Amino acid sequence: MNNDIIFILDAGGTGFKFSAVKDYKEIIDPFTIPSAAETLEEVLQKLIYGFHECEARCGCQPRAISFCFPGPADYPNGIIGDLPNLPTFRGGVALKQLLENEFKVPVYINNDGDLFVYGEALGGLLPQVNEMLERQGNPKRYKNLFGVTLGTGFGGGIVIDKVLLNGDNSAGGEIWCSRNCLYPDTIAEDSVSIRGVRRVYARESGIAFDDAPQPYDIFKIAQGEQEGHQEAALKAWGELSTVLADVIGNGLRFTDGLVVIGGGLSGAWPIFLPMLIKKLNEPYTDLNGNTIPRMETEAFNLEDVNGCLRFAEKSGKMITVPFSEQQVWYDPTKRVGVGITKLGTSSAVAIGAYAYAMNQLG
């Protein structure tokens, strides 16, 4: 056993990506095993094989195993529920105890969105933004991070002052089933996902869903870099941005910090992020026709040079304490920044899983 090595797994509906982390750095080349299987036993054998392969590549046992796995699940007890993308999991599968019996080390399981945000809070966007503020001579520092992952599904997580919010029912930050502001009878994930982007493109261009290109191609079409229906492509990313802004805006009212975006669709940020920021800063109109801010804060695009400079610039002034000559600093501006993963989604998950295990181990 090595007291510093944690074996990591990023489990998805199509593949199981294994790695090993020591001192917050991956020490082996990650490898992936397809997750498709006919039976639950076959899936479980793939998981066992993957962690044994980590042993072989590291040449030792780990101190613990820590990984993300799709929900619904009872994460503290390591019991996986009925999974939409892994249909062999039904009726509750005691995955934590199975792996502890096999490897004789502690096993910790959490949600991928939670671990992604945890990694970015400890070693990614959050500390990088605070370092930027320090360089600019701005005394403001951020402690809270709300993160989302955009891909096959729509995940999320929340870190408050370096503490990961799990929730009493292992459901903290589960934003995928938020109400869809464009289609109120369904969930946000129906628009904020791969299928959502393809569905809108197909609808707007008058083709069948199965004939719709993948999101990367739709991104290129929207950019004018690839042939296709550009108006439909822009509409597809526009709907994603609108629904995503609604969810993030609601989340920021509780977290009041920074936002980090990851997942397979995050690479299309040059198209959707400016739309998202615009939506976050658009005011509401009340029943009397008055405008009301969508949030108490102003959102800034941390991937845009001008937006980043405006976000980081020092503002405020010294004010005098009443009935004295004493002065204190006062800055009435309230800013939140939205940026793209700085570690890469998989690496952020790995770092988050490592940190979560080390915290549990004390």
Q: What is the DSSP string of 36-99?
A: --SSHHHHHHHHHHHHHHHHHHHTS--SEEEEE--SSEETTTTEE---SSSTT--S-EEHHHHH
Residues 184, 284, single domain; the answer is yes
Whether residue 280 is found in the same domain as residue 326: yes
> Does residue 354 belong to any structural domain of this protein?
no
Q: Tell whether 357 is covered by a domain.
A: no
CA–CA separation, 242 vs 237, rounded Å? 9
Tell me: do 130 and 250 sit in the same domain: yes
Task: State the CATH number of the domain containing residue 254.
Answer: 3.30.420.40
Tokens linked to 56:
């072989």
- Write out the two tokens for 294: 């969508």
Residue with tokens 């796995």: 69
Whether 352 is in a domain gets the answer no
Cβ atoms of residues 156 and 146 within 8 Å:
yes
Q: Are residues 90 and 223 in the same domain?
A: no
Same domain, 146 and 187: yes
Q: Is 298 exposed, middle or buried (0-12, 13-18, 19+ CB in 10 A)?
A: middle
Domain boundary, last residue among 80, 110, 140: 110
Q: Determine, yes or no, domain membership for 182.
A: yes
Residue from 11, 8, 12, 107 nearest 53 by CA: 8
Written as tens digits, the pLDDT of the chain (362 aa) is 557 899 999 987 789 999 999 999 899 999 999 988 999 999 999 999 999 999 999 999 999 999 999 888 999 999 999 988 789 999 999 999 999 999 999 999 999 899 999 999 999 999 999 999 999 999 999 999 999 999 988 999 999 999 999 888 888 888 999 999 999 999 999 999 999 999 999 999 999 999 999 999 999 999 999 999 999 999 999 999 999 999 999 999 999 999 999 999 999 999 999 999 999 999 999 999 999 998 999 999 999 999 999 999 998 899 999 999 999 989 999 999 999 999 999 899 999 999 999 999 98
Same domain, 138 and 236: yes
Do 93 and 235 fall into the same domain? no
Are the beta carbons of 86 and 140 closer than 8 angstroms?
no
3-state secondary structure of 219: helix
Pair (92, 138) in one structural domain: no
Nearest to 147 by CA among 266, 310, 31: 266
Query: 98 and 131 share a domain?
Result: no
As a whole number of Å, the end-to-end CA separation of the chain is 17
For residues 138 and 211, state if they share a domain. Answer: yes
The pLDDT value recorded for residue 243 is 98
Q: What is the dihedral of CA 257, 139, 315, 244, to 10 degrees?
A: -10
Does the residue 359 lie in any domain? no
Whether residue 245 is contained in a domain is answered as yes
Structure tokens at 345: 């989604």
Total domains in the fold of the chain: 2
Last residue of a domain, one of 51, 78, 110: 110
Q: Establish if 64 belongs to a structural domain.
A: yes
**Domain of 44?**
5-110
Q: Which of 75, 95, 110 is at the close of a domain? A: 110
Block residue for tokens 């990506």: 17
DSSP 209: G
Shared domain for 270 and 190, answered yes or no, is yes
Cis link prior to 76 (omega < 30° from 0)?
no
Pull the structure tokens for residue 325.
């000559």
Three-class secondary structure of residue 292 per DSSP: strand
Total length of the chain: 362
Question: Does residue 134 fall inside a structural domain?
Answer: yes
Q: Are residues 24 and 40 in the same domain?
A: yes
SS3 343: coil
146, 97, 351: which is closest to 258 by C-alpha?
A: 146
Q: Quick check: pTM over 0.85? A: yes
